[in-house]
Structure 1
Amino acid sequence: MRLPKIFDGHNDLLTRLHTAGAGADSVARDGQGAIDMPSARAGGFGGGFFALWVPSPVDVVAKIAAMQGDGYDMPLPGMVPQTEARRVVDAQIALFEDLVALGHLTHCRTVEDLRRALSGDSLAAILHMEGAEAIGPDLDELDAYHDRGLRSLGPVWSRETIFGHGVPFRYPSTGDTGPGLTDAGQRLVRRCDDLGIMLDLSHLNEAGFWDVARLSHRPLVATHSNAHAVSPHARNLTDRQLDAIADSDGMVGLNFAVAFLRPDGKMRADVGLDVMMRHLDHLIGRLGEDRVGFGSDYDGAMVPQALISVADLPKLRTALRAHGVDDALMEKLCQGNWLRVLEKSWT
């Protein structure tokens, strides 16, 4: 099954290409990651939020080993200088624009753009910034990036920025791990609201989450997060947070990252799709059927063995059918709910 196409809340293709020094033309072939054009066609992948993210140096082997223990608290990297962040972000935007020029992506700035792209052959693509390190406290860069098509922004990745604090990779833990938004962060929220840039709460700590809930008049959205009640990881959302998202008529994209799926919090790929169904049931139970979608974290996380790339998405649809998902709910989960919340977020 390849229909309806899946529109996804988060991927890190741009970071993968930039880090590998690969050109945009490599996406036309079977590649080394989770997303390429042959795999997208095979799996019915319609596109999603394409993240601009600045990586920090990390010992990946040591991180994976630590996150396979019964509990862990990974130290967060320090702040990234704005000049370095802008260099990386601008290079990734250039890759994004090359992908558009080659016809692999359609840059979507409106819901009408998304609808047209989802019915076509290229991938519907929203330009998203994961961590606002490339933006200064006066927010001039935010307006400039908006002019280039930025329509979604997370004030932080897990590390600290001048705008606020992210949650650590900690298990077990809640997201109540530090202070809320800074004065600059509060200005950022208000300006994003004014511009119609959707705010992503996925990596914000709880204090920052509640600051956004207080300041923003837009729906609360977490593009790639899971249910803390199923997996008590710092990155996952508590029932109180989910209720606030529901009250705002917002949205959560179910994250495929195994450490946030597994009840034991371990970074191990041997996890069945039944665990995803447990998160899905809990999210729908708190949010309702109109406020849940997918936020895979493809090309940025270890995912279940059954869903290694977007070519495997038919297995997810099969699992959803077996779980009792009918045609109407399938359409909502795969794309309709994202279109709904973006209509409210961008107008």
Structure 2
Amino acid sequence: MRIFDMHSDLFTDIAWRRNNGEKDVFDRIHYPRLVKGGVDSIICVFWVEPTFRQDPITRFRTIFQLVMEDLCTSKHVNICRSVEEMTKDANSKKINLFLGLEGVSFIEQWGSKTMGTNIETAFYELHEEKVRHAIFAWNEWNFLASGTGSENEPTQYGLTKYGEQAVQKANEMNWILDASHLDETSFWNMHHVSNQPIIASHSNAQALCQHERNLSDNQLKAIAAGGGIIGLNAYSGFVDKVNPTLDRFIDHAAYIADLVGPEYVAFGFDFIDYLSAYNLGAPFSGGTIGLEDVTKIPDLLDRMVARGFSTKEIEGISFHNAYRFIEQNMRL
């Protein structure tokens, strides 16, 4: 069964390994594991780690260069800007990869004379580099939006005027707007300002696990009503604070499917098993028991069958729901 993972941080691992002199990181390290997990397509994000927040633009450009050098020499990567560019041949031995952004504080330093021009220029130049997805904030508040997990109290909750401009620019360029990591005020602002559906690529149900990164029933309903999609997150802290197990992860799938319909549910695993070795400026550990990494996805699918999900529902959540959303909303 094909898997579409709507959120991965494997670019961070590639950048650190390339910086340490390694080559062909995607092909050597990640490709065999993705194949074992059945992953066909994936949204991978460029993310500036907390330890580099004092100079985010330099770090972003460094990561981007290191990662793109690795991908450009890969035998197994197919970078896509729409479903039309996806490899549909199961024997191609390629992973369909979409480029995204997780936190965009670096755009503030893009180099133009005004903030508005920074946004216009950055979106245009990133679009030319095949980026088609954005999360505005990561555990922070910035010049666009207020996010969850910020160390400092925001000076303003919600989208700023520049955040609204960025939403409009993303709509204009047919980018995917991702509300994961936004606080509730920014979420609702984005929901109302965007004229296109929004997603939460890696968020779970707040009703089952009280965490600010998870979504309320009203937020889940709003995403679905707008034609968006919710990607289920395998990070333990968002699954259950006491007993983060494979079955508890499936509880989130069942809850959201019952609430809004299984056609609005997908996977956005957010696996972090490969990040623990690096000094990123924050602790990164917390795999769900039985779903610690990408190779455990087949076990998840087997357990979903045992829990009563139909073949059609599992195929939708695993791949077709995300594919349909990308097909309808991402354009060249």
Shift of 1:247: 1.0
Match of 2:287 in 1: 303
8 Å CA contact 2:79, 2:98 repeated in 1: yes
Q: Which residue of 2 aligns with 1:8?
A: 5
Q: Are 2:135 and 1:154 equivalent residues in the alignment?
A: yes
CA contact (8 A) 1:100 1:107 kept: no
Post-superposition offset of 1:178: 6.4
TM-superposed deviation, 1:116 = 2.7
**2:246, 2:289 within 8 Å by CA — same for their partners in 1?**
no
**1:323 to 2:307 alignment:** yes
Q: Which SS does the other structure have where 2:172 is aligned?
A: helix
Counterpart Cα distance in 2 of 1:13 and 1:105: 13
Change (3 A) 1:258 1:200: same
Match of 1:235 among 213, 217, 222: 213
Describe the shift of the 1:117–1:292 C-alpha distance in structure 2 as closer, same or farther (beyond 3 A): farther
Report what 2:280 is aligned to: none
Change over 3 Å in CA distance of 1:24–1:290 after alignment to 2:
farther
How has the CA–CA distance of structure 1 residues 304 and 323 changed in structure 2, closer, same or farther, with 3 Å as cutoff? same
Distance 1:132 1:290, change over 3 A: same
**1:109 is the counterpart of 2:81:** yes
What is the one-letter code of the residue matched to 2:7? H
1:261 correspondence with 2:245: no
- CA 1:275–1:169: 2 relative to 1, 3 Å: farther
Question: Paired residue for 1:219?
Answer: 197
Q: Once the 2 structures are TM-superposed, how far is the Cα of residue 115 of structure 1 from its aligned partner?
A: 5.0
Q: Which residue of 1 aligns with 2:103?
A: 131
1:106–1:204: structure 2 CA closer, same or farther, 3 Å change rule?
same
Equivalents in 1 of 2:89, 2:137: separation in Å? Answer: 29
Instruction: Provide the C-alpha distance between the structure 2 equivalents of 1:178 and 1:260, rounded to a whole number of angstroms.
Output: 26
Equivalent pairs, count: 306
Distance 1:169 1:160 in 2: 6
The answer (yes or no) to whether the contact 1:134–1:141 under 8 Å persists in 2 is no
Gaps of 5+ in 2: 109-114, 276-283
Distance in 2 of aligned mates of 1:328 and 1:241: 25
The residue that corresponds to 2:31 in the other structure is: 37
Q: Secondary structure at the match of 1:228?
A: coil
The aligned counterpart of 1:294 is 267
Corresponding residue SS for 1:246: helix
Amino acid paired to 2:26: V
Post-superposition Cα deviations, 1:42-79, rounded to whole Å, max 9, x if no partner, equal 2212231111000113xxxxxxxxxxxxxxxxxxxxx9
Query: Superposition pairs for residues 270-281 of structure 1, below 5 Å?
Result: 271-281=244-254
Residue 117 of structure 1 and its aligned partner are, at CA, apart by 6.9
**What letter is aligned with 2:12?**
T
Per chain length, whose mean CA-contact separation is higher, i.e. which structure has more relative contact order (CA < 8 Å, sep 6+)? 1
CA-CA distance at 1:90 after TM superposition: 2.4
Secondary structure at the aligned position of 1:54 is classed as coil
| Alignment equivalent of 2:67, drawn from 77, 83, 96 | 96
| Cα distance, 1:51–1:311 mapped onto 2, change above 3 Å | same
CA distance in 2, matches of 1:144, 1:233: 35
Deviation at 1:211, TM superposition (A): 0.7
Residues 322, 243 of structure 1: alpha-carbon distance in 2 compared, 3 angstrom cutoff: same
Once the two structures are overlaid, the 10-residue window that deviates more, 130-139 or 236-245, is: 130-139
SS of structure 2 residue aligned to 1:331: helix
Residue aligning to 1:47:
41
1:166 is displaced (CA, Å) by 0.5
Sequence identity (%) = 28
The whole-number CA distance in structure 2 between the counterparts of 1:189 and 1:118 is: 35
Say what the alpha-carbon RMSD is for the aligned residues: 2.2
Aligned counterparts of 1:14 and 1:246: Cα–Cα separation in 2: 29
